[in-house]
Amino acid sequence: MTHDKALAVAVKTENAPAPAKGPAAWVGRWYNQMGSYMDLKLAGNEIATGSSYTTKTSSGGGSVTSKKMCGYVDGDLISFLVLWPGGSQTAWTGQLVDDDANPRIKTLWHLVTEIPDVDEPTKLWMSTFTGADEFARTAQASRGV
């Protein structure tokens, strides 16, 4: 399904409104299963200045890369973006689940990298990677420990 068709269905669908989530549901440090983490701050429903995503996995050699992030929350939904050194970008979209007993943010992500214009006709989609992350309040919980 194309994005336009999916959006048309979403706009026409009568969903029950998501329960309002206050900043406490989102604000703070969240770890994923790889040991990367994000520090979330909110200004209304926007991810605020000072929010950051820190990863060891993207930089290789065990060094740490930390970059600012931007995005939105609405009810129990979230989307955020990180621009990496060299111009690659990762965008996550997901949902806060089990927020009363065991809060987690389950997301899908797309990472895109730049490829030379001359290679775009044959290699465009080779520059796009996709996957899933699950974030928890503690590093141990995010790894299922």
* Alpha carbon separation from 125 to 22, 111, 113, 128, 130 (Å, rounded): 38, 11, 10, 5, 11
| pLDDT, tens digit only, all 145 positions of the chain | 777 776 677 677 665 555 666 778 899 999 999 999 999 999 999 999 999 999 977 555 667 899 999 999 999 999 999 999 888 999 999 999 987 788 999 999 999 999 899 999 998 888 999 999 999 998 776 666 4
- Cβ burial of 36 (10 Å; 0-12, 13-18, 19+) is buried
CA 54 distance to own-chain centroid: 12
Q: What residue ranges define each of the domains in the chain, with the CATH number in brackets?
A: 19-139 (2.40.128.30)
pTM: 0.83
